[in-house]
Structure 1
Amino acid sequence: MSVAQPSVLPFVAAQPLVDHHCHGVLRAGGDLAGLLNEADGAAVADGMAFDSLAGLAFRRWCPPLLGLESHASIEDYAERRAGLDPAEVNRRFLDACGLRALCVDTGYAPGGLLSPAETAGFAGAAAFEIVRLEQVAESLAGTGVSAAAFPDAYRAALSERVAGHGGSGVSVAGLKSIAAYRVGLDLDGRRPADAEVVAAVSRWLGGRYDAGDDGHGGYKGDGGDEGGDGGTGEGGRVPRLADEVLHRFVIWCGADLGLPIQFHVGYGDRDVDLHRCNPLLLTGLLRALEPTGAPVMLLHNYPYHREAGYLAQVFPLVYADLGLATHNAGARATALLAEALEMVPLRKFLFSSDAFGLPELYYLGTLLFRRALSSFLAGRLDDGDMGLADAERVTRLIGAENALRAYRLDG
Structure 2
Amino acid sequence: MTAHVPHTGFARRVLAELAARLGAEPTPAAVLGARRAAGPAAARRLLAASGLEALLVDTGYPPGATTLAEMRAGLPCAVHEIVRVEACAERLLPAALPYEAFLDALRAELEAGARRGVALKSIIAYRSGLAVRAWPPAEARAAYRRELARSEAGRPPRLTEPALLDTLFVVALEVARDAGRPLQVHTGLGDPDIDLLRANPLLLRPLLEDPRWAAVPVVLLHLAYPYAREAAFMAAVWPQVHVDLSLALPLLGPAAVGLLAEVLALAPATKVHYGSDLRGLPELFALAADWARDALGRALATLVEARALTRDEARAVGRRVLADNARALYRLPPSA
TM-score w.r.t. length of structure 1? 0.74
Does the C-alpha gap of structure 1 residues 174 and 193 become closer, same or farther in structure 2, counting only changes over 3 Å? Answer: farther
The Cα offsets for residues 175-232 of structure 1, whole Å up to 9 and x where unpaired, read as 11111111111222x3x46444323212321333xxxxxxxxxxxxxxxxxxxxxxxx
| Gap runs ≥5 in structure 2 | none
Work out whether residues 130 and 172 of structure 1, in 8 Å CA contact, stay in contact via their aligned partners in 2. Answer: yes
User: 2:236 maps to what in 1?
Assistant: 313
Task: Please say if 1:332 is aligned against 2:290.
Answer: no
Distance of 1:236 and 1:94 partners within structure 2: 42
Q: Mean Cα displacement is larger for which, 268-277 or 346-355?
A: 268-277
The Cα offsets for residues 278-306 of structure 1, whole Å up to 9 and x where unpaired, read as 11111112222664511101111111111
State the Cα RMSD in Å. Answer: 2.3
Task: Please say if 1:397 is aligned against 2:315.
Answer: no
Task: Please say if 1:180 is aligned against 2:125.
Answer: yes
Work out whether residues 56 and 82 of structure 2, in 8 Å CA contact, stay in contact via their aligned partners in 1. Answer: yes
The Cα offsets for residues 83-111 of structure 1, whole Å up to 9 and x where unpaired, read as 332x2353244223211121110002433
User: 2:50 maps to what in 1?
Assistant: 97
- Please list, as runs of the form range in 1=range in 2, the aligned pairs for 1:256-295 lying within 5 A after superposition: 256-257=174-175, 258=177, 259-288=181-210, 291-295=213-217
Distance of 2:156 and 2:42 partners within structure 1: 35
Work out whether residues 261 and 302 of structure 2, in 8 Å CA contact, stay in contact via their aligned partners in 1. Answer: no
Q: CA deviation at 1:161?
A: 3.7
- Please list, as runs of the form range in 1=range in 2, the aligned pairs for 1:219-368 lying within 5 A after superposition: 234=152, 237-257=155-175, 258=177, 259-288=181-210, 291-300=213-222, 301-368=224-291
- Please list, as runs of the form range in 1=range in 2, the aligned pairs for 1:144-183 lying within 5 A after superposition: 144-163=96-115, 171-183=116-128
SS of the equivalent of 2:184 reads strand
The Cα offsets for residues 336-355 of structure 1, whole Å up to 9 and x where unpaired, read as 32233342111110000101
Task: Please say if 1:68 is aligned against 2:13.
Answer: no
Does the C-alpha gap of structure 1 residues 207 and 75 become closer, same or farther in structure 2, counting only changes over 3 Å? Answer: closer
User: 2:149 maps to what in 1?
Assistant: 206
Q: Mean Cα displacement is larger for which, 367-376 or 280-289?
A: 280-289
SS of the equivalent of 1:303 reads coil
- Which of 108, 127, 133 aligns to 2:79? It is 127
Distance of 2:143 and 2:70 partners within structure 1: 38
Instruction: Using the aligned pairs only, state the percent identity.
Output: 39
Q: CA deviation at 1:134?
A: 0.7
Q: Which structure has the highest helix share of the two? A: 2
Larger RCO: 1 or 2 (CA < 8 Å, sep 6+):
1
Distance of 1:359 and 1:161 partners within structure 2: 25
- Please list, as runs of the form range in 1=range in 2, the aligned pairs for 1:189-204 lying within 5 A after superposition: 190=134, 192=135, 194-204=137-147
- Please list, as runs of the form range in 1=range in 2, the aligned pairs for 1:371-386 lying within 5 A after superposition: 371-386=294-309
The Cα offsets for residues 19-68 of structure 1, whole Å up to 9 and x where unpaired, read as xxxxxxxxxxxxxxxxxxxxxxxx122xx212121123213322232123
Aligned residues: 329
User: 1:8 maps to what in 2?
Assistant: none
SS of the equivalent of 1:347 reads helix
Does the C-alpha gap of structure 1 residues 80 and 119 become closer, same or farther in structure 2, counting only changes over 3 Å? Answer: same
Does the C-alpha gap of structure 1 residues 387 and 292 become closer, same or farther in structure 2, counting only changes over 3 Å? Answer: closer
Distance of 1:286 and 1:246 partners within structure 2: 20
Which AA in structure 2 matches 1:262?
Q
Distance of 1:64 and 1:123 partners within structure 2: 22
Distance of 1:406 and 1:93 partners within structure 2: 27
TM-score w.r.t. length of structure 2? 0.89
Q: CA deviation at 1:236?
A: 5.2
Work out whether residues 221 and 243 of structure 2, in 8 Å CA contact, stay in contact via their aligned partners in 1. Answer: yes
Which AA in structure 2 matches 1:77?
V
Does the C-alpha gap of structure 1 residues 56 and 340 become closer, same or farther in structure 2, counting only changes over 3 Å? Answer: farther
Which AA in structure 1 matches 2:66?
L
Work out whether residues 200 and 243 of structure 1, in 8 Å CA contact, stay in contact via their aligned partners in 2. Answer: yes
Work out whether residues 52 and 286 of structure 2, in 8 Å CA contact, stay in contact via their aligned partners in 1. Answer: no
Task: Please say if 1:79 is aligned against 2:33.
Answer: yes
SS of the equivalent of 1:385 reads coil
| Gap runs ≥5 in structure 1 | 1-42, 164-170, 209-233
Work out whether residues 93 and 359 of structure 1, in 8 Å CA contact, stay in contact via their aligned partners in 2. Answer: no
Work out whether residues 261 and 297 of structure 1, in 8 Å CA contact, stay in contact via their aligned partners in 2. Answer: yes
Work out whether residues 98 and 123 of structure 1, in 8 Å CA contact, stay in contact via their aligned partners in 2. Answer: no
